[in-house]
A and B are shown apart, each in its own frame.
Chain A
């Protein structure tokens, strides 16, 4: 039976770059041939969540949310718009970072939908954050003498958003690769504004756990950290602030290895993707990351 993958993202009515990561990762996965159909769908662009399933011929569909955390979108909006009528958030049995997958039927198309947890909370996202640190420093051995800051939005509307950040920061810290690892936030303590205060290490790699580069990652965070006074004039990587060299990575969602996390999500839900995962890791530089 043929299988399809749908990557669902937020998208934007205002910013054309917002859907870019979904397109890029979809293309990487398409090239592996693991799915008969691969489709992107968006809350703010087309095809909408509401219409995407009817554009597929496959009977078996794996839906992977390209979102950072569990919460409003993964628990309410996406299942509702996909018409997964028997859905209830309890089916995740999650405390905020454990969502795996649930198999349901979409009522308007009669297809079997394997609805997966978000990309941002998958264990292998920790590998992507490390990979991001490698790509931004250009150093595959990055870690010694280096602090890693994982940046989240904060808890303004969604308490799970901070959980995802702490989850990965803890996991990476336990590996002992970096001298220090710290979770920081835009809208709550510890704040990204004070990032240099949290590290003794001379070098700090700053990785925002955001899906796409946009307003927050390209304007707020760089200015808040003081690597630039005006985002429009840009910044260097690294930029020196308070005697620390800050290696600012931009949104982790744009890292090519995210395609691997999407595949892992679908694989956990039963998709036949083993070969695709190997191919994508090879292609996106993730081979070393996973063996760390």
Chain B
């Protein structure tokens, strides 16, 4: 924005006083007072105030946040300020200098968000943080494209959970305005900016499992049957960093904590999500099964092999097991050999699952 416009806006705002990021302007009986950490003037006429403000970085900074970003107290503004490190110890000239040269960045889940000043304008870009150094990325400029882009992972699998750590690679959104940046991030990780902001303001509304479960109806009504111990297993299955980048803030209820680590994510999880509730419903029905004893014949290595297979599936590691790595218990040939040897149409070791 042109300096004339910025200066005119400042003179306008001076009547009510300005105090922002080290800039202070006041309209006193003795004329204007104009102050930054670097300079201090008093008794200025309107023209003199204009002269002092022209080309001043504190004024440019004030104008950007108050007039271009606006949105006092909104998550959008707080997020942009955080991205630009505007809440840290650096002075305005140091920060603007960094924005003009290398830019300032933050990590947000798997995203790398970077702010720059180019030709006097604040522009933002966002990409997968593992693509930080890559310059042969597919370039996008419309936030709406983000919805389709993150719908599938690198292998083309549908991602029903937006905060699963499986964000696809190879793209970058560039030249975004502050508003467009926040929209892009919100399409990639919906509602994370809003909840992060609430948490910073001390206003995050957490709904613990019991309360969320008691609210459910229809086929999900049964999820309140999950016991604290089963919830422990369920969160270990679904809510750890390897499965979801949100940091779990909810517990079983206000008085009963869950031991599963909450996760190290930048943004909070304020209540069980729909995927978790759907999984919980399945866990409840599984827990209704009564235990019974089965007798199998297995060699020790075959028992270990079954444990290896469960581990490989649970950790999503099956794709990584090399075709010829027959030393891995979850290797496909090993699994097929075990099936050929130990399973028939009556089940494992010829043991029927149900009594006839």
Q: Real complex partners, A and B?
A: yes
Show the binding face of A for B, using Cβ within 8 Å: 12-16, 23, 27, 30, 43-48, 50-52, 54-55, 57, 72, 76-77, 80, 108
B191 touching A47, Cβ below 8 Å: yes
Instruction: Give B139-160 interface residues, CB cut-off 8 Å to A.
Output: 144, 147, 151-152, 158, 160
A13 touching B195, Cβ below 8 Å: no
Q: Which of chain B's residues have a CB closer than 8 A to the CB of A30?
A: 144
Residue of A nearest to B189 (CB): A46
A-B contact pairs, 25 of them (CB 8 A): A13-B160, A13-B274, A14-B158, A14-B160, A16-B151, A16-B158, A23-B147, A30-B144, A44-B160, A44-B274, A44-B275, A45-B162, A46-B191, A47-B191, A48-B190, A48-B191, A51-B194, A51-B195, A52-B190, A54-B194, A55-B194, A57-B74, A72-B218, A76-B217, A80-B215
A13 touching B275, Cβ below 8 Å: yes
Residue of A nearest to B278 (CB): A13
User: Complex: how many Å from CA A51 to CA B160?
Assistant: 16
Given known contacts A23-B147, A57-B76, is B160 in contact with A52 (CB within 8 Å)?
no
Residue of B nearest to A47 (CB): B190
A108 touching B205, Cβ below 8 Å: yes
Residue of A nearest to B147 (CB): A23
Residue of A nearest to B191 (CB): A51
Residue of A nearest to B77 (CB): A57
User: Complex: how many Å from CA A54 to CA B205?
Assistant: 11
Give me the 7 closest cross-chain CB pairs, A-B, nearest first.
A47-B190, A51-B191, A46-B190, A13-B160, A54-B194, A16-B158, A47-B191
A-contact bits for B41-81, CB 8 A (1 contact / 0 none): 00000000000000000000000000000010010100000
B305 CB to nearest A CB, Å: 30
Instruction: Give B162-201 interface residues, CB cut-off 8 Å to A.
Output: 162, 186, 190-191, 193-195, 198
Q: Is B3 an interface residue (CB 8 A)?
A: no
Given known contacts A55-B190, A55-B194, is B144 in contact with A50 (CB within 8 Å)?
no
Given known contacts A13-B160, A55-B186, is B144 in contact with A27 (CB within 8 Å)?
yes
User: Complex: how many Å from CA A52 to CA B190?
Assistant: 8
Total residues of chain B contacting the partner, CB 8 A: 27
Residue of B nearest to A30 (CB): B144
Q: Which of chain B's residues have a CB closer than 8 A to the CB of A77?
A: 217-218
User: Complex: how many Å from CA A54 to CA B217?
Assistant: 23
A48 touching B274, Cβ below 8 Å: yes
Residue of A nearest to B272 (CB): A50
Q: Which of chain B's residues have a CB closer than 8 A to the CB of A47?
A: 186, 190-191
B118 CB to nearest A CB, Å: 26
User: Complex: how many Å from CA A44 to CA B190?
Assistant: 13
Q: Which of chain A's residues have a CB closer than 8 A to the CB of B215?
A: 80
User: Complex: how many Å from CA A30 to CA B144?
Assistant: 10
A-contact bits for B69-107, CB 8 A (1 contact / 0 none): 001001010000000000000000000000000000000
Q: Is B271 an interface residue (CB 8 A)?
A: yes
Q: Is B273 an interface residue (CB 8 A)?
A: yes
B186 CB to nearest A CB, Å: 6
B278 touching A52, Cβ below 8 Å: no
B103 CB to nearest A CB, Å: 26
A50 touching B190, Cβ below 8 Å: no
Q: Which of chain A's residues have a CB closer than 8 A to the CB of B152?
A: 16
Q: Which of chain A's residues have a CB closer than 8 A to the CB of B193?
A: 55
B214 CB to nearest A CB, Å: 12
B20 CB to nearest A CB, Å: 21
A-contact bits for B268-282, CB 8 A (1 contact / 0 none): 000101110010000
Residue of A nearest to B186 (CB): A55
